[in-house]
Amino acid sequence: MKIFRCQACKSAIYFENRFCGACGHDLGYLPVTGILTAVEPDGDDWVALAPDQPKLRFCANAAPDACNWLIPAAQENPFCLACQHNGIIPDITQGNNLQHWRDMEIAKHRLFYTLMAFGSPLQTRQQNPEHGLIFEFLAEEPGSGEKVLTGHDEGVIVINLDEADDVKRTKFRAAMHEPYRTLLGHFRHEVGHYFWDVLVRDAGNIEACREVFGDESVDYAEALKIHYEKGAPADWQESYISTYATSHPWEDFAETWAHYLHIVDTLETASAFGLRIHPTFTRDDSLHVDIDFNPYRAKSIDELITAWLPLTFTMNNLSRSMGERDLYPFVLSAPVIKKLSFIHDMIRQSQRG
């Protein structure tokens, strides 16, 4: 994620901000240009302080304070490029649904920032009725006994609204023995399944993917059943990014995809802050790095990993100093880096295409 500043007063602002805390200007995000801009009202429309922009309107989901993205005033579709991928949203008049949906949208918009920065192929359900990407945010009905399972099926991504409840999500993480569980992590993982369909299956890369992740044709339901009954192999860290990645090649791909997005997005933030990591206790070159490059344009996975390892070592030490868990509690073994490299190369190939 880049760092943004208000065009009116030059103050630093966050990607999710609706207004500038310093000067009070309304703010909106221009997804095509990747600019968070101050705006001023012009009748029923808005004018951006960022140059060379047409008259604008806010996405329809700005009304319930669930989106700060802008659309051209002449656009017929009232939703922005991210919210056009929404299928079902919860009843926001019930309980905490509105706040939970807002939290979901924050994570989803960060996901779309990354996908658009890559130039990833994205189709709505209107553009591709059979395989377009669509999100369904579902809340479990009290007393119904019906569970909402987060997952993906041919472009349809279902997210259980309970994942936006911090207490429930913490309980889920503890019950599943997970070192990390976040809303953004869910979005990145589930969209990994979608891009397996788009960039592996539909792009003719199945055989190449099998060489790295294994044969995805093995029975998925049976593989998950065995995983939940027996758990991950004792030596899972030698070849996998997480225990869940061991359950099936599809899950291995989705977990690795999510971590690739973690790496790129965090490195962009580090680069935007001009981070230089030079620990005084060692001259070991592997822990010294100046993060001053665009990770979205990295030519190889090595360029990313060379910066990522010292950055995570630094972040984890800072997190421990605050009495928190490691911010990135994962080990990148050589086989995992090979998998990350496959995803990196596949994305680069899609960019060239």
What residues have CB less than 8 Å from 3, skipping those under 6 apart? Answer: 12, 269, 272, 273
Query: Tell me, what's the pLDDT at 228?
Result: 94
> What is the model's pLDDT at position 176?
87
User: For position 82, what pLDDT does the model report?
Assistant: 98
The number of angstroms, rounded, from the C-alpha of 254 to the middle of its chain's C-alpha atoms is: 12
Average pLDDT per block of 10 residues along the chain, 353 residues long: 95 96 97 96 96 96 98 97 97 94 98 96 95 95 80 96 94 91 96 97 96 97 96 96 98 98 98 96 90 96 97 97 96 97 95 70
Distance from the Cα of residue 8 to its chain's centroid: 29
How many residues in total does the chain contain? 353
Give the model's pLDDT for residue 197.
Answer: 97
Give the model's pLDDT for residue 353: 59
What are the strands of the beta sheet with 56-58, ordered from one edge?
26-30, 35-42, 45-48, 56-58, 70-72
310 Cβ contact partners less than 8 Å away, ≥ 6 residues apart: 277, 286, 287, 288, 289
| pLDDT score, position 119 | 93
Give the residue among 255, 267, 243, 261 at the shortest CA–CA distance from 315.
Answer: 267
pLDDT at position 135, please?
A: 98
DSSP structural state of residue 212:
H
| CA-based nearest residue to 343, from 271, 286, 262 | 262
| Two structure tokens written together for 313 | 């070592």
